[in-house]
Amino acid sequence: MTTTPARFPDGFLLGAATASYQIEGGAKEGGRGPSIWDTFCATPGKVVGGDNGDVACDHFHRWSEDVDMMVELGLEAYRFSIAWPRVQPGGTGEFNAEGIAFYRGLVDRLLAEGIKPLITLYHWDLPQELDDEGGWLSRDTVDAFVVYATRMAQEFGADVDMWTTFNEPWVSSFVGYGAGAHAPGHADDAEALTAAHHLNLAHARAYKAIKAVAPNAQVGMVNNCHVPRPWDPSSEGDRAAAAHIDALANTMFHQPFTLGTYPEVLKPNTAHITDWSFVHDGDLEEMHGAVDWFGINYYASHVVRHNPNKGVEVSELATLADGHKAGANTCWPGDEEIEFMPPTGKVTAMGWNVDPSAFHAHILKTHRETGKPLYVTENGSAWDDVVDEDGRVRDADRIDYLHGHLDAVLKAIAEGADVRGYMAWSLMDNFEWAQGYAKRFGIVRVDYDTLERRWKDSAYYYREVVRRRELVPAEEADALAATPPRTF
């Protein structure tokens, strides 16, 4: 057995991540236009508790204090997303100077503090007007995205070199258009596949547009990862089930860029759903080569099996991830005979398993399959945190999760994977999409009545990881935390 080196390599970025709709609030301020998530939240029954992003963490007003907090945490990088409807309210036409100025202030302050900004252009908040015209089912949205991306590169390209076009196109397409559990709430498998292709195409075109304006830009795509393992590895059916899920969840969103093809199993497996005529001549050639790096968002793994008697059960994952029954359609077109097995072992407040070994395996697999530099752009866990009488949040489960997953990254690096950064999800508790504010992923707690930020024990632990640039034993966490904890 080899022991994992405990230190992160020189240049490896340790940071934290957030997303615009999940933290900003200020939904009707500064000239921001409505997004599909404003509409979805206003639709009864879609979001737990009827929650919405109108106020969220009020980062729109508190961003400067939030950067103060990042400075105290010692973060080397901060991954955030630009809200398209804040900078271009209708998704086409006029840009909004006030919205652009908001991100200018944030970027300038981060740079002044020596915190590297990682910009994500699309973390799900599509301008509503574009959805009215067909959203990601329309190639016009692809064109609109390229215009928006070009303008952002003109604004920030001289100062920011790490760019992500899309956060988790699998979620946008398969949860948003397939399961109906995310905005825009459609439930149609053919639409989900169409939207996925258009997101890939938009990535490829924006990749070229951004680099034309900002030659130093390193443009990547961020994928959420499913690590589907066959229930019985000796069963051909179970292995095929896992391969189908892997193709839909993972390979579909990197192979077009590395090889210029979609995974072979997809077409036959979904022939009863679509003829794939949404892929036009030349699309795949445009995609081939259009990526500099891949982002990995990892939370949990899954065990799947072939079950011909499954009937029209809803996807286990959609149910678990979003607390919704997804209806007849699923996150997984072609999964009529694929069953997700219930998670085993320790599970988080999301009902997701804790499996750092799958994370390690997935990093190596993505390294082998893409050959590209990788960044862990999200990794973290939700737990039912409690504020103790002395004000501390003793989130030992989150610390264990962090420790185990940072160890997995170090192992993968030691075995040759080119991983260049790790962004903890999330800097602070925030709007967890269809779960509203009920699920807390932050290393910093947010009190949604007062909007006070309070460091959890995990924030102190992570600060020490960044300070030492090495894996800090989880047992040291208790002694690292302050009583009462730091608040902002």
Q: Which of 210, 432, 437, 457 binds ligand PNW (CB under 6 A)?
A: 432
206 binds ligand PNW (CB under 6 A): no
Minimal distance, residue 317 CB to ligand PNW, in Å = 5
Tokens representing residue 407 in the block: 């160890």
| Active-site pick, 129, 155, 339, 378 | 378
Between 129 and 168, name the residue whose CB sits nearer to ligand PNW. Answer: 168
Contact between 481 and 460 under an 8 Å Cβ cutoff? The reply is yes
| Active-site pick, 168, 316, 339, 432 | 168
Helix or strand run (H / E) with residue 459: helix 457-468
Contact between 16 and 74 under an 8 Å Cβ cutoff? The reply is no
Question: Beta 218-224 vs 162-167: how paired, if at all?
Answer: parallel
Between 150 and 353, name the residue whose CB sits nearer to ligand PNW. Answer: 353
CA distance 263 to 196: 13
CA distance 149 to 336: 38
DSSP 323: S
199 binds ligand PNW (CB under 6 A): no
Beta strands in 123-232 (DSSP E): 162-167, 218-224, 227-230
Which residue do the tokens 């490896």 mark? 12
DSSP string, 50-93: G--TTTTT-HHHHHHHHHHHHHHHT-SEEEEE--HHHHSTTSSS
Alpha-helical regions (H) of 157-303:
169-170, 189-213, 236-249, 255-258, 266-269, 283-287
Between 150 and 441, name the residue whose CB sits nearer to ligand PNW. Answer: 441
DSSP 346: S
Minimal distance, residue 381 CB to ligand PNW, in Å = 9
Q: Contact region for ligand PNW (CB under 6 A) — 29-37, 167-175, 337-345, 450-458?
A: 167-175
Q: Which of 88, 224, 269, 301 binds ligand PNW (CB under 6 A)?
A: 224
Q: How far is CA 9 from CA 14, 76, 238, 364, 471, in A?
A: 11, 14, 38, 17, 12
Minimal distance, residue 441 CB to ligand PNW, in Å = 6
Contact between 241 and 230 under an 8 Å Cβ cutoff? The reply is yes
Tell me which amino acid residue 125 is: D
Minimal distance, residue 434 CB to ligand PNW, in Å = 9
338 binds ligand PNW (CB under 6 A): no
Q: Which of 171, 209, 287, 471 binds ligand PNW (CB under 6 A)?
A: 171
317 binds ligand PNW (CB under 6 A): yes
Q: Which of 39, 88, 150, 167 binds ligand PNW (CB under 6 A)?
A: 167
Between 258 and 315, name the residue whose CB sits nearer to ligand PNW. Answer: 315
Contacts of 247 (CB under 8 A, 6+ apart): 263, 265, 266, 269
Helices (H) and strands (E) in the chain, counts: 18, 13
Between 432 and 457, name the residue whose CB sits nearer to ligand PNW. Answer: 432
Cα of 34 vs its chain's centroid, Å: 21
279-298: contacts with ligand PNW (CB under 6 A):
297
Minimal distance, residue 350 CB to ligand PNW, in Å = 7
Q: Which of 168, 339, 395, 429 binds ligand PNW (CB under 6 A)?
A: 168
| Active site (annotated) includes residue 378 | yes
Minimal distance, residue 406 CB to ligand PNW, in Å = 18
321 binds ligand PNW (CB under 6 A): yes
Q: Which of 378, 395, 397, 400 binds ligand PNW (CB under 6 A)?
A: 378
Nearest residue to ligand PNW by CB is 321
57-96: contacts with ligand PNW (CB under 6 A):
none
What number of chain residues touch ligand PNW (CB under 6 A)? 15
The partner residues of 378 in beta bridges, in order of sequence, read 297
Residues that bind ligand PNW (CB under 6 A): 19, 22, 167-168, 171, 175, 224, 297, 299, 317, 321, 378, 425, 432, 441
Among all residues, which ones are annotated catalytic? 168, 378
